[in-house]
A and B are shown apart, each in its own frame.
Chain A
Amino acid sequence: MQKAIIIDDERLARNELKKLLLDFPEVEVIGEAANAAEGIEKIESLSPDLVFLDIQMPGKTGFDMLTELDSAPHVIFTTAYDEYALKAFEVNALDYLMKPVEPKRLADALQKLQQAEEKEMAATMAGINRGMLTENDQVFVKDGERCWFVKLGEVRLFESVGNYAKVFFGAYKPLILKSLNALEERLDEKVFFRANRKHIVNLRMIEKIEPYFNGGLLLELFGGEKVEVSRRQAVKFKEMMSL
């Protein structure tokens, strides 16, 4: 059973979607929200498996709402006609639906979700306490006009830039509004290592390790980034690696 919530500013649109979902007993609608603020509240209190999200809403858009979440749930976007918004979505959105929604398309989208879930289940079986983000958790990143859902496992490096953190993945390095300390608390320390004050590196993404001044280390990542490991952290790093 999938728990879903619907976020859309139009009551009729929410009703219509609820009605369509009656044909899919595997999905249960456990809540609704009419704007982004309500949406965040519902997502945090109900922790749904799936969110149907309208993009154009008063106040914050659906995109803005997602960037404020620590970890993005599975999202199916619903929109009437928005070339512009859909263009932002070249990269790995689960799916989007055009209103009025065709039942067949809805079925496809839900099927896609199921497959994604199953893949994840296998990986997540390793067992983790809730609240800790795993490699399979995704964050929603928006940089100007472009948006991505990024699996944490794909991130090579977090770099602190004032109140923001720069996220390095693929060929991109957008900014997210999160401090490095807050990130460190939520990230799995077996995978993400605090190399120094300014950087958290993904240990699976290290290509080369070289000794550096003062007993420090210099890590070279697969993307070519070079990160210095401070002396104090280098001791910890060697300890972890020797296990």
Chain B
Amino acid sequence: MHKTNVRYWLCQLLGWGGWTMLNLFMTLQYASDYLTPDEKKIIFYYELAFDFICFIVATHLLRTILKRINWMRFPFDRVVIMFITAVLSTGLLCFYGGKLLEKATDKSLTAFERNERFQKAVKFESDLNVAHTSYYLEDNLYKDDSVNYKIVKKIEKNTGWHRGQDGKWIYEDLRKGRAFWNIIFNFILLSLWLLTYLVWHYIDKNRNDQFDKLKLESTVKELELKTIKSHINPHFIFNSLNSIRALVDENPPRARQAITELSNILRSSMQAEKSETVTLEKELDIVKDYLALEHMRFEERLKIEMQIDEDTLQQHVPPMMLQTLVENAIKHGISKQMSGGVVRVISRFQDNHMELIVQNTGQLSPIINGDGFGIKSTEDRLNLMYQGKAFFEIRNAGNNMVESKVTMPVVI
């Protein structure tokens, strides 16, 4: 907030200051004879200062109001109406404010000029030797050979002053339209100011919106990744605990081992949130523990086969990904088979890629094909981590066998 205020005042001072300086420079450069004598020049400086103050006060007032009503929320047509109203009112405010200041300080170019011209008119009269005649009376004006008429016209044309029938001087400004054009000019200046202000804020808002959107997107991605990683099936945890409980009497050493295996899985599922990748070796440790626990539950119904290429063990893989695939192989495959089946885990190099394959007895259900949370989240994870360089597929592989395969680039 503080920073925006500093920037705003800097813009205000530079803008209006620059404008005043330009005005001063142009006048001094191209109309310097207009500004003689020096007294007139000083009054001109005063007027410039008045304008400067008026513009700043008026625009600052406008800004305060705009902020107060929160103009950004209005639709475009309302903004247009607001724009016109604002320009008209501030333009008039500047004009009459300036006039008021001139009057209050008695530093008015118009008044000075009026006075200057009056002197000139009197001088004309005396130069023409009509100062003490009543040449201006209507009776005299047309009776003669219109010499008097010419004199009146000449003085009036040059100074704006002429004498009324009673002999008193009357003034008519030679440049009557000046005030009108001044106001129009104010309107143009203030439209420029307001236009700059509005456009600036539109752009600023737009940029902020985009920034917010990007920030939101990245947060969503991060969250997604987290939920995918920590997705360990509670059904599995409680079933394992139940089996362990049964084993406590039946086979105490196996029960103790099972507790260690379950601890390992829980621990690594928590740690998975911290690291982006793990070595396949570590991932396989979890998978082996997991399969050991499932074997404890399913007993002879689950057969496990591992075909691991030793060289792939140091490759980095997304944590808990192979684990998820194995989990799904059990959940959708083995646990649905009355007589159980086999789960085969394969890791190997193939055509410059690394392949992780999980095969299980069963048949891919055509209904959930490709839309399940596990499949979708695995694809999303690979996309997020390898930007389209890794692939996932799941298909029926021949005789009552389902195969899910992850193909990843090899990292050396």
Q: Please judge, given known A-B contacts A80-B235, A81-B235, A81-B237, whether A13 and B249 are in contact too, CB under 8 Å.
A: no
Chain B interface category by residue count: 20 to 34
A99 near B239 with CB under 8 A, answer: yes
Check if B336 is an interface residue, CB within 8 A of chain A: yes
Are A16 and B337 in contact, with the CB atoms below 8 A?
no
Q: Is the CB of B238 within 8 A of A99?
A: yes
Q: Contact: B247 with A12, CB < 8 Å?
A: yes
Which of chain A's residues has its CB closest to B234's CB? A81
Indicate if the CB atoms of A12 and B243 lie closer than 8 Å: yes
**Which residue of B234, B241, B243, B249 is within 8 Å of A10 (Cβ)?**
B243
Q: Evaluate contact between B338 and A13: CB separation under 8 angstroms.
A: no
Bound CA–CA A57/B47 (angstroms): 95
A58 within 8 A of B: yes
The reply to whether A11 and B299 form a contact with Cβ atoms under 8 Å apart is yes
From the candidates A9, A35, A80, name the one contacting B242 in the complex (CB within 8 A).
A80
A12 touches B336 (CB 8 A): no
Q: Does A162 have its Cβ within 8 Å of any Cβ on chain B? A: no
Chain A residues positioned under 8 Å from B250 (CB to CB)? 12, 15
What residues on A are CB-neighbors of B337 within 8 Å?
Answer: 58
Within 8 A of B (CB), among A70-87: 80-82
Shortest Cβ distance from residue A29 to the other chain B in the assembled complex, whole angstroms: 15
Give chain B residues whose Cβ lies under 8 Å from the Cβ of A98: 238
A190 adjacent to chain B (CB < 8 Å): no
Given contacts A19-B249, A81-B235, contact A56 B242 (CB under 8 A): no
Task: Digitize A1-33: 1 where CB-to-B-CB distance is under 8 Å, 0 elsewhere.
Answer: 000000001111101100100000000000000
Q: Determine if B235 and A100 form an interchain contact, defined as CB atoms under 8 angstroms apart.
A: no
**Which A residues are in CB contact (< 8 Å) with B243?**
10, 12-13, 16
Give the complex CA separation of A16 and B298 in angstroms: 15
- When the two chains form their complex, are residues A59 and B338 in contact, meaning their CB atoms are under 8 A apart? yes
Residues of B within 8 A of A19 (CB): 246, 249
Which A residue's beta carbon lies closest to that of B298? A10
Decide: B249 and A12 in contact? CB cutoff 8 A. Answer: no
* Contact call B241/A100, Cβ cutoff below 8 A: yes
DSSP majority for the B interface? helix
- What residues of chain A lie closer than 8 Å to B299, measured between beta carbons? 11-12
Least Cβ–Cβ distance between B215 and chain A, in angstroms = 33
Task: From B238, B297, B338, B340, give the contact of A12 (CB < 8 A).
Answer: B297
Check: B12 CB closer than 8 A to any chain A CB.
no
Q: Please state if B338 and A10 are interface contacts (CB–CB under 8 Å).
A: no
Identify whether the interface residues of A are mostly helix, strand, loop, or mixed. Answer: loop
B288-302: contact bitstring with A at CB < 8 Å (1 yes, 0 no)?
Answer: 000000001111000
Contact between chains at B239 and A80 (CB < 8 Å): yes
Given contacts A13-B243, A15-B246, A15-B250, contact A82 B235 (CB under 8 A): yes
Among candidates B234, B235, B246, B335, residue contacting A13 with C-beta atoms closer than 8 Å:
B246
Indicate if the CB atoms of B297 and A10 lie closer than 8 Å.
yes
Whole-angstrom CA separation of A13 from B298 in the bound complex: 10
- B335-A12 in contact (CB<8A): no
Closest residue on chain B to residue A59 by CB atoms: B338
Chain A residues with CB under 8 A of B242 = 10, 12-13, 16, 80, 99-101
* Residue-wise interface mask of B (17-47) relative to A, using a CB-CB cutoff of 8 A (1 in contact, 0 not): 0000000000000000000000000000000
| CB neighbours of B237 from chain A (8 A) | 81
- B335's nearest neighbour on chain A, judged by CB, is A58
Cα–Cα distance between A107 and B296 once the two chains are bound (Å): 28
Q: What's the Cα separation between A15 and B245 when bound, in Å?
A: 10
B247 partner residues in chain A, CB cutoff 8 A: 12
Q: How far is the CB of B259 from chain A (nearest CB, A)?
A: 13
Query: How far does the alpha carbon of A117 sit from the alpha carbon of B192 in the complex, in Å?
Result: 89
The answer to whether A10 and B238 touch across the interface, beta carbons within 8 angstroms, is no
| Minimum CB–CB distance for A83 against chain B, Å | 9
- Whether B239 contacts A10 by the Cβ 8 Å rule is yes
A84 CB to nearest chain B CB (Å) = 10
Could you tell me if A35 and B338 are in contact, using CB atoms closer than 8 angstroms?
A: yes
Among the listed B238, B296, B298, which residue makes an inter-chain contact with A100, where contact means beta carbons less than 8 Å apart?
A: B238
Interface residues, chain B, CB within 8 Å of chain A? 234-235, 237-239, 241-243, 245-247, 249-250, 296-299, 335-338, 340
Q: A13-B239, A82-B235 given; name 20 further pairs at CB < 8 Å.
A: A10-B243, A12-B242, A13-B242, A13-B243, A15-B250, A16-B246, A19-B246, A19-B249, A56-B335, A58-B337, A58-B338, A59-B338, A80-B235, A80-B238, A80-B242, A81-B235, A81-B238, A99-B238, A99-B239, A99-B242
A-B contact list, 14 entries, CB within 8 Å:
A10-B242, A10-B243, A10-B298, A11-B299, A12-B296, A13-B239, A13-B297, A16-B242, A19-B246, A58-B336, A58-B340, A82-B235, A99-B239, A99-B241
